[in-house]
Structure 1
């Protein structure tokens, strides 16, 4: 209860401060009262959803996600406005004190807040506010196909030009627009890749979230098949289950569902992709993550039936596995495909110029292609969304990677 009281108090102070600036810039009182009412409504909805809603605890339902998203947008507006407005108010206080000390005025008075500076502050604040609202309305379905070509000295000849499509982090429990998902699935198939890899987090928590979408995702097709692994959310660890037996059954149901969808789920095991006499070893591990995430992945077990000199592709959901374990392994894993980070669903990317997201403070390898010790990883930005029901700057991704045999020089 105390945390809710503190939260409401802080939010109220921030809102009141910003609303005073709004009162400065408009002569129409109804604008001020409307803004105050909307701010209060957003706060009340957030408290209701997280304290009294149908899904208490850690489960992020759609109503909870949208309550969080709207609150985040308002907080972003208030914080940006306050940074600007507070600097002006500080100047006003200093100016008033100076006039008092210098004897220029018999009584201490503050200069009036200037209307145009309030307009600038509020105007700047509308940028993140509008971006976050756009991210909830359109950004989360703004699918991008990102294409890469990677060269390897020891790629088997028959696989020169072999094309991979990777998707990750579907989070089907967050979907709210079937038409957009149909478009995205069709976009995956349009790539006409040789193989499709899905690198974990099919659901937010429960297998039932995927049931309405299973028939759609079962239409994914590639010449050499669709292969998948589990992500941290697939295990149902973020739900307060009635019993361990029910939790176990949920995971078994998810495995069966993937099989029925035509996905070949790799659970610390391997397969061979073959073209004529040449082959590539495909290795898939269960989730292994740093910092409290499940460590069910067993790289040694998964690679037990492949040879050291095989060309290897590894599917591992969390890129921290690659950083901490994979690149230091005795086996050389030529290409690892991961996801997990979502690029935090927020950032700025201008190809060739800027690539930034706050998630970089948690993950060294958080989006795109990286190379270490002669080994590559692609960290997919994710197909779906979780928590904040949108994306800003870091768009949902379909990755297409073409393998090339490096030419002799």
Structure 2
């Protein structure tokens, strides 16, 4: 029944979209060609999703099918908005004409006006905008890496750490990659940055540890800054989105995922902390396992902070920004800076610095991309290095964050 409803809904969407095409373009051969392409694409997408194997999880085929579905579906939904609006007007006109004819005792039956060509032309023109956007996002946008820089000021930053530069990447999702040169370029871009320490904030794979096998040598090329490379786990690193034959197989995959971090020279923090020391000063780096308001809650902030004093300057690594919203931002221990990821900025949105910042994910996450400040504490939500579910990015680009810590009152 579920599949019948889905196919019926997609067929209705296709019927409406075809009305716009048929109104604007009169060529019969074009009509048949359009229908053939639409049917083939729809059948391919339905076949891929129908044959989805939960013991394997997401694959490049499911990514491709998801991308095709969005490329085809969203523009057609735009068309439907215009055509439904037109149909409402046509229905009102038809009802008015019927009533006038009825009281005038006319026998005309031509009540419903035909579709207006200009409405279909406008609908197709506007629908081309998301179509072009999605295509660009799939072929170009997903590797359009950006370096975003922030400067943060603190009253209690230890003197020796004035000017300390923190680099952050997040959400690698290596199982989605399909272009080694682009990933190698991104690694070079990371290496070009002036940084004292590098943090990775979770989701190194989609599900399986083996997804990272082809990329170990590439990510091992990331230079080791003076104060090291540290990482945490994200929700996808626990292997909980597939079906496992045995608990032992799931546990083995989890151990293999944890071992990846060492292979690419990252120190994985599992509800634990380390101190970065510079001269006689130090700052604490606290790494928790995943803690999400609507996802796995393996993170234990109390345990991770056992060795940290209340007056220590603290950088917290926590994959899901909802952790900051629900537990961290008002915490009595005062975590100065939290670094998260997870949302990817939905890989879709509009960002015009200083003017507009919007994505559908903002209706789920209060903090979803960029730097936030409340109660004298900061949160950076990295937009992610890789991509997942949709094989592209539209308006929300992959990010390398560079955060410079400065002490208030210092001029140099």
TM-score for the superposition, normalised by structure 2: 0.96
Instruction: Kindly provide the CA deviation profile for residues 346-387 of structure 1, in whole angstroms up to 9, marking residues without a partner as x.
Output: 111100000111111111111111111111000001111110
Instruction: Name the structure 1 match of 2:368.
Output: 366
1:81 counterpart = 2:82: no
Instruction: Name the structure 2 match of 1:33.
Output: 32
In the TM superposition, 1:250-265 aligns within 5 A as 250-265=253-268
Instruction: Kindly provide the CA deviation profile for residues 76-95 of structure 1, in whole angstroms up to 9, marking residues without a partner as x.
Output: 11111011111112222222
Query: In structure 2, how many angstroms separate the alpha carbons of the residues matched to 1:29 and 1:224?
Result: 67
Instruction: Name the structure 1 match of 2:21.
Output: 22
CA contact (8 A) 1:220 1:226 kept: no
Residues 389, 178 of structure 1: CA spacing in aligned structure 2 closer, same or farther, 3 A cutoff?
same
Query: In structure 1, how many angstroms separate the alpha carbons of the residues matched to 2:322 and 2:51?
Result: 36
* 2:143 alignment partner, one of 138, 141, 158: 141
Q: Secondary structure at the match of 2:393?
A: coil
Residues 81, 152 of structure 1: CA spacing in aligned structure 2 closer, same or farther, 3 A cutoff?
same
Instruction: Name the structure 2 match of 1:329.
Output: 331
Instruction: Kindly provide the CA deviation profile for residues 172-224 of structure 1, in whole angstroms up to 9, marking residues without a partner as x.
Output: 00001111111111111111211110000000001100111011111112221
Query: In structure 1, how many angstroms separate the alpha carbons of the residues matched to 2:410 and 2:135?
Result: 51
Give the superposition deviation at 1:57.
6.6
Give the superposition deviation at 1:97.
2.6
* 1:276 alignment partner, one of 271, 275, 279: 279
1:267 counterpart = 2:270: yes
CA contact (8 A) 2:54 2:243 kept: no
Query: In structure 1, how many angstroms separate the alpha carbons of the residues matched to 2:109 and 2:396?
Result: 50
Coordinate RMSD, CA, aligned: 1.5
Instruction: Name the structure 2 match of 1:179.
Output: 181
Moved more, 97-106 or 368-377: 97-106
In the TM superposition, 1:63-212 aligns within 5 A as 63-103=61-101, 106-109=107-110, 110-212=112-214
Query: In structure 2, how many angstroms separate the alpha carbons of the residues matched to 1:87 and 1:212?
Result: 51
Give the superposition deviation at 1:151.
0.2
Gaps of 5+ in 2: none
Q: Secondary structure at the match of 1:210?
A: helix
Residues 57, 9 of structure 1: CA spacing in aligned structure 2 closer, same or farther, 3 A cutoff?
farther
Residues 79, 58 of structure 1: CA spacing in aligned structure 2 closer, same or farther, 3 A cutoff?
farther
CA contact (8 A) 1:274 1:280 kept: yes
CA contact (8 A) 2:369 2:382 kept: yes
Give the superposition deviation at 1:52.
2.0
Instruction: Name the structure 1 match of 2:248.
Output: 245
Moved more, 84-93 or 137-146: 84-93
Query: In structure 2, how many angstroms separate the alpha carbons of the residues matched to 1:58 and 1:115?
Result: 48
Query: In structure 2, how many angstroms separate the alpha carbons of the residues matched to 1:235 and 1:394?
Result: 26
Query: In structure 2, how many angstroms separate the alpha carbons of the residues matched to 1:381 and 1:113?
Result: 43
Moved more, 196-205 or 61-70: 61-70
Query: In structure 2, how many angstroms separate the alpha carbons of the residues matched to 1:226 and 1:85?
Result: 54
Instruction: Name the structure 1 match of 2:356.
Output: 354
Q: Secondary structure at the match of 1:118?
A: helix
CA contact (8 A) 2:55 2:244 kept: no
CA contact (8 A) 2:196 2:226 kept: yes
Instruction: Name the structure 2 match of 1:7.
Output: 6
CA contact (8 A) 1:320 1:363 kept: yes
Runs of 4+ deviating beyond 3 Å:
55-58
Residues 163, 314 of structure 1: CA spacing in aligned structure 2 closer, same or farther, 3 A cutoff?
same
Query: In structure 1, how many angstroms separate the alpha carbons of the residues matched to 2:300 and 2:361?
Result: 26
Query: In structure 1, how many angstroms separate the alpha carbons of the residues matched to 2:33 and 2:144?
Result: 32
Instruction: Name the structure 1 match of 2:395.
Output: 393
Q: Secondary structure at the match of 1:102?
A: helix
CA contact (8 A) 1:96 1:108 kept: no
Give the superposition deviation at 1:275.
1.1
Give the superposition deviation at 1:106.
2.7
Query: In structure 1, how many angstroms separate the alpha carbons of the residues matched to 2:97 and 2:298?
Result: 68
Give the superposition deviation at 1:27.
2.2
Query: In structure 1, how many angstroms separate the alpha carbons of the residues matched to 2:116 and 2:159?
Result: 71
